[in-house]
Amino acid sequence: MGPIEVLWFAVVLFFVFVALVRGYPRELGVTTVIFAALFLIQFFFGRYFDGLLRPALDLLAISPTARGLEHFKATFYSLVFLLIVFSGYAGQTFTFQGKERKGTDGLVLNLLVGLLNGYLVAGSLWYFQHAFNYPIADFRGSDGRPLFFTMPLSPLAMQLVKILPLAVVPDILWGALLMLMLLARVRR
Amino acid sequence: MPPAINDLQRALVLLLVLGVFAYIGYRRGFWGEVLKLIMLVVGYAISRPELLGGWVIRTLNVGYFLIQFIRGGGLSALFAEGGPSAEALLSAFEATGARGPLIRAGEGEGLLFVLMLVLMIAAFAVAGRIKRKASKIAGLLMGAVNGLVIAYIFRPYLSGKPLLPPTAETAGTLDVLGTLLGAALDVVVTPLRWLGTAVGLWMVPVVIVIVVLILLRSLRS
């Protein structure tokens, strides 16, 4: 694979495609679920995860290396996040009531929500890698080439890292946005 | 061409394939996509001599021998009045053996590839007729999986193995494509970069809130 920003861009585009076919009332439900996931992860995990992990490892008599711990944390955070996001798409979904706008307006709104969801999901997954020194870059193919993306980061990637959602948005805002979405859903 | 542009092209072509098939899956539904997936896997197995391909070639050759045996008078020799005639049978076997197999070792890859394509086309034709209802999102995901399988099957052609000898014109086209795709990435990230540097990072949460408010306001009751 190429640089990480290309992978990031690909994931964002995927969410744009999904938003174009599903429409923004449905996608707003997913946005709500993403806000909930980010609030949970940043507010609770950020404060208590390390405090809980250490005794758990002691209890199980596991003493991982520092790199092993980074792998575990990045994987755990990513999996929890993806599971919550997936729940927004699976089964009975959290859809906003109301009539969807058609034509160019609808297209632009679908694009907007796709870009927002893509930025939130791809950006958060990237942030989990960045926060734990890119454990996924350790995975290489039989020819020694990286399986997912190349390191070190390009100048563009270093700029993008600064505007990843979890890097710039305070945890309390995720909570506020979640409340706003729930209120808007109930009001309708 | 620089490797980064090549990788970018590959990633975006893959993404385009996934997007198109996900959209088809969304429109056609889950069960049609499941059928397509099964046919794709079977088709791929047939295209590989070490999987089902070898068995297909052997079966075709056996069928061909059988037809040649019948045409060479083998059946008449077996069911001749007064019992099978050894001489006539031997002559039929000789005629069959002289023709050799229909598909010789190392010659079947083209045929197997065509068989795989026929199966794929048949799968796409039949999948469109399945009307059984299921979740559209499941269809979308299954469609994306099918896109991934197709991209995997045709990966030699995505990963730079040329179908035709390269020409100056082809290389030029790919360069232009790479530049365009790189420009698309720049168009998307430039506003974000601008926000981050010129206005300040605090502006990103503000933009998120504004987008959410616009979307909520746009829902008609």
Express each pLDDT in B166-215 by its tens digit. 444 444 444 444 444 555 566 556 655 655 565 567 777 888 888 888 88
- B23–chain A Cβ distance below 8 A for any pair: yes
- To test the contact with chain B by mutation, choose from A1, A11, A17, A31 the residue with the greatest count of B C-beta atoms within 10 A, namely A17
Closest partner residue to B215 (CB to CB) among A9, A113, A170 is A113
Report the alpha-carbon distance of residue B43 to residue B40 in Å, rounded.
5
CA distance B56 to chain A (A): 32
Q: What percent of chain A has pLDDT over 90?
A: 14
Per-residue pLDDT tens over the stretch B33-69: 888 888 888 888 888 877 888 888 888 888 888 887 7
Average pLDDT of chain B is 73
- B220–chain A Cβ distance below 8 A for any pair: yes
Closest partner residue to B208 (CB to CB) among A6, A98, A116 is A116
- B12–chain A Cβ distance below 8 A for any pair: yes
DSSP result, B61-100? HHHHHHHHHHHTTHHHHHT-TTS--HHHHHHHHHHHHHH-
- B215–chain A Cβ distance below 8 A for any pair: yes
Is residue A134 predicted with pLDDT exceeding 70? yes
Report the alpha-carbon distance of residue A57 to residue A51 in Å, rounded.
11
A79/A53: higher pLDDT: A79
Mean pLDDT of B27-34: 82
pLDDT value of position A124: 93
Mean pLDDT of B98-122: 78
Question: Do the beta carbons of residue A101 and residue A109 sit within 8 Å?
Answer: yes
Q: By C-alpha distance, which of B24, B221, B6 is closest to B136?
A: B24
Using CA atoms, how far residue A3 sits from A38, A114, A129, in Å, is 25, 22, 14
Q: Do B219 and A25 touch (CB under 8 A)?
A: yes
Is residue B1 predicted with pLDDT exceeding 50? no
Tokens of B86: 């050894």
Mean pLDDT of A35-63: 81
Tokens of A3: 């640089």
pLDDT value of position B124: 79
Between A14-23, B129-138, B200-209, the lowest mean confidence (pLDDT) is in B129-138
Report the alpha-carbon distance of residue A36 to residue A34 in Å, rounded.
5
Tokens of A134: 């890119």
Tokens of B37: 């997936």
Closest partner residue to A14 (CB to CB) among B18, B201, B218 is B18
pLDDT value of position B141: 81
Q: By C-alpha distance, which of A113, A5, A49, A141 is closest to B159?
A: A141
User: Angle formed by the axes of helices A24-39 and B203-217, to 10°?
Assistant: 140
Is residue B162 predicted with pLDDT exceeding 50? no
Q: Do A22 and B137 touch (CB under 8 A)?
A: yes
State the count of interchain CB pairs (< 8 A) between A and B.
Answer: 116
Q: Do A10 and B212 touch (CB under 8 A)?
A: no
pLDDT range class, residue A117, cuts 50, 70, 90: very high
ipTM rounded to 2 decimals: 0.82
Mean pLDDT of B12-30: 80
CB neighbours of residue B27 within 10 Å: 14
Query: Which of A83-87, B85-89, B124-128 holds the top average pLDDT?
Result: A83-87
Between A79-88, B13-22, B55-64, B162-171, the lowest mean confidence (pLDDT) is in B162-171
Q: Do A112 and B192 touch (CB under 8 A)?
A: no
Query: Where are the strands (E) in chain B, listed by range?
Result: none
- Which residue on chain A is closest to B187 by alpha carbon? A9
Question: Do the beta carbons of residue A10 and residue A159 sit within 8 Å?
Answer: no
Between A141-155, A156-170, B36-50, the lowest mean confidence (pLDDT) is in A141-155
pLDDT value of position B174: 44
What are the beta bridge partners of residue B220?
A: A99
